[in-house]
Amino acid sequence: MLNELQTMIFELGIIVVSSALIGTMFLYARQPIILAYIVAGIALGPSGLGLLNDSDRIIQFGQFGVILLLFLLGLNLQPFKLLSLFKESALITLGTCCLFFLVTLGFSLLIGLSPGDSLVAAAALMFSSTVIGLKLIPTTTLHHQRVGEVMTSVLLIQDMLAIIVILFLNVREPDVMISAFVLILLKLGLLCLLAYLGVRYLVLPLFRRFDVIQEYTFVTALAWCLLWAETAHLTGLSYEIGAFVAGLSIAISRVSQAISLHLKPLREFFLILFFFAVGAKMDITQGGTVLLWGGLFGVLLVAVKAAGFIVALKLAKEKAPQELSARLSQASEFSLLLAYSALTAGLVSDQGMLFIQAATLTTFILSTYWVVSRFPTPISSVSDLRKD
C-alpha cells in the first residue's frame, strides 16, 4: 500500500513539474499551453523516457477533470433554454456526423484498413471534443452569446451519440439496438427528474440554511456532482452525463455562479492530467505507415469538419459559422474512449487503434493552434485575444 502511494505521489510530481516546465517554454514561444501538457505526456510516457508507464491510471485521474467540466457547464445553463437549443441543433449535429462518418470510412478503406477497423475509425472520429471546445472558449461567450449556446448543444448531442455508439459496440441485433436506445432515453429522463426533485426539496433548502459557510457549499456541490455521476454510470450511461445533469439541476439556483467559481481551479488541475495522459497513451515508436496515414488524415479531417460545419450552420442561418466551425473542427476524447472499448471487445486491431490515435492527436494540435491564433480564448498568448 505504501509503495503504491509513493508511486502515485511520484507520478503526480513528475506530471505537474514537467507540465510547468514545458508549459513555461511553450508560453515563451507563444504556443498554446494545452499542447505543452500533451507534449509532456509523450516525452515522459512509454514511447518517450518511460518515467510513467501506467497511462491508464493517469487518464482515470484526468477523467475527473472532464466530469467537473460537464458539471460546471450544466451549472451555467437553464434547462428550458437547453431543450430549445437541442431542437435547433439536432439536425446540424446528425447531418455533420453522417458526413464525417462517410469521409473517414472512405479514407480508411482507401489506405487498406480492414472493413472492421474502418467502421470503428469512422464511428470514433465523427465527434468533436467537448474538453477542447469548452476549454478554449471564454466563459462570457459560452454562457451569454449565441456562439457558445450552439456549440454547447452540438457537443452535448454528440456526447450522447458517442455514449450510444459505445454501448452498441457489442450489440449486433437490430431489435436489441432499438430497445437499448429507448432504454437509454428513459434512464436519462428519470435521472433528470430525480436530480431536479433532489435539488428542489433537499439541496436548495440546505444551501439557503448554510450559504454563509463557503466550504459547505463547495463540498455539497461536489458531492452532488459525484453522486449523480456515479448514479449515471451505474445505470449504463456515463459519468459525464450524470455530472452534467447534476449541474443542470442546480442551475435553477442563484448560488450556481458562486459554485462554478469555487470549482474552477480544481477542474483545471485534473484537466492537466487528462491532456498529459492523452500524450502518454500515444506510442509514436510503433505503427510506421499507419501512424503517418493517421496524421495525414487528421489534417484532412480538420478541413472537412470545418467545411461541413460552415455549410450546416449557414443552412441553419446561424451567426459566426467560421468561428463555430473552427471550435468544432477536432476529433473527440470520446474517439479514444470508443477505440479503447472496441479494442477490448476485439472489434479493432492495433493498427486501427494507432490510426485513430494519430488522427485524433493531430486534430487536437491543429484545431487548438487555429482557435488560439484567430479567436478569443482564455489561454491565448496574444493579449487582444485573451479573454476568460
Q: Report pLDDT digits (tens) over 176-210.
A: 566 766 777 788 888 888 988 888 888 888 877 87
**Residue 6, in any domain of the structure:** no
62-71, 93-102, 277-286, range with greatest mean pLDDT: 93-102
pLDDT band per the 50, 70, 90 thresholds, residue 307: very high
25 pLDDT above the threshold of 90 = no
pLDDT band at 103 (very low <50, low <70, confident <90, very high): very high
Backbone angles phi, psi at 378, to 5 degrees: -70, -15
Residue 385, pLDDT above cutoff 70: no
CA-angle at 159, arms to 358 and 56, nearest 5°: 50
Report the C-alpha gap between 270 and 351 in whole angstroms. 30
Residue for grid cell 500515444: 282
| Residue 376 scores a pLDDT above 90 | no
* pLDDT above 60 for 175: no
| Residue 334, pLDDT above cutoff 80 | no
Identify which of 149, 147, 146, 106 has the alpha carbon closest to the alpha carbon of residue 126: 106
Residue with cell 439536432: 90
Task: Tell me the average pLDDT across 233-252.
Answer: 81
Does residue 10 lie in a domain region? no
* Residue 1 confidence (pLDDT) above 70: no
CA–chain centroid gap for 195, Å, is 23
Q: Say which CATH number the domain at 135 has.
A: 1.20.1530.20
Higher pLDDT: 185 or 355? It is: 355
- Residue 383 confidence (pLDDT): 63
- CA dist., res. 296 & res. 304, Å (int): 13
| Count of domains for the chain | 1
| Percent over 90 (pLDDT), the chain | 9
Residue 309 neighbours by CB distance under 10 Å: 28
| Structural domain containing residue 163 | 62-380
Cα within 13 Å of Cα(387), Cβ side:
13
Flag whether 168 is in a domain.
yes
Overall residue count recorded for the chain in this entry? 388
Q: Is residue 22 part of a domain?
A: no
Q: Average per-residue pLDDT in the chain?
A: 79
Cell matching residue 91: 439536425
Q: Residue range 246-268: average pLDDT? A: 75
Q: 339 falls in which pLDDT band (50, 70, 90)?
A: confident
Partners of 159 in the β-ladder: none
Q: What is the mean pLDDT of residues 321-339?
A: 82
The cell 472520429 sits on which residue? 125
Q: Which grid cell is 142?
A: 459560452
pLDDT band at 216 (very low <50, low <70, confident <90, very high): confident
CA distance 128 to 96: 11
Identify whether the C-beta of residue 37 lies closer than 8 Å to the C-beta of residue 275.
Answer: yes
- Model's pTM, two decimal places? 0.72
Grid coordinates representing 318 are: 446561424
Q: In the prediction, which pLDDT does 100 show?
A: 93
Lowest mean pLDDT among 39-53, 129-143, 284-298, 300-314: 129-143
pLDDT on residue 81: 66
Asked if residue 174 is part of any domain, the answer here is yes
Would 26 be classed as within a structural domain? no
Task: Give pLDDT, residue 269.
Answer: 79
Q: Could you give the CA distance from residue 73 to residue 245 in angstroms, rounded to a whole number? A: 10
The distance of Cα 288 from the centroid of its chain, to the nearest Å, equals: 28
Question: Which is more confidently placed, 364 or 30?
Answer: 364
According to DSSP, residue 384 is labeled G
Asked if residue 50 is part of any domain, the answer here is no
**pLDDT at 300 (0 to 100):** 94
- The predicted pLDDT at position 243 comes to 85
Q: Examine residue 31 and state whether it is found in any structural domain, yes or no.
A: no
Sole residue written with cell 435553477: 252
Please, are residues 316 and 88 in contact by the beta-carbon 8 Å criterion? yes
Whether the pLDDT of residue 292 is over 60: the answer is yes
What's the pLDDT band for 99 if we cut at 50, 70, 90? very high
Residue corresponding to grid cell 472489434? 347
User: pLDDT value at position 333?
Assistant: 74
Give, in order, the Cα–Cα distances in Å from 328 to each of 84, 159, 218, 325: 20, 13, 32, 5
Residue 170, pLDDT above cutoff 60: no
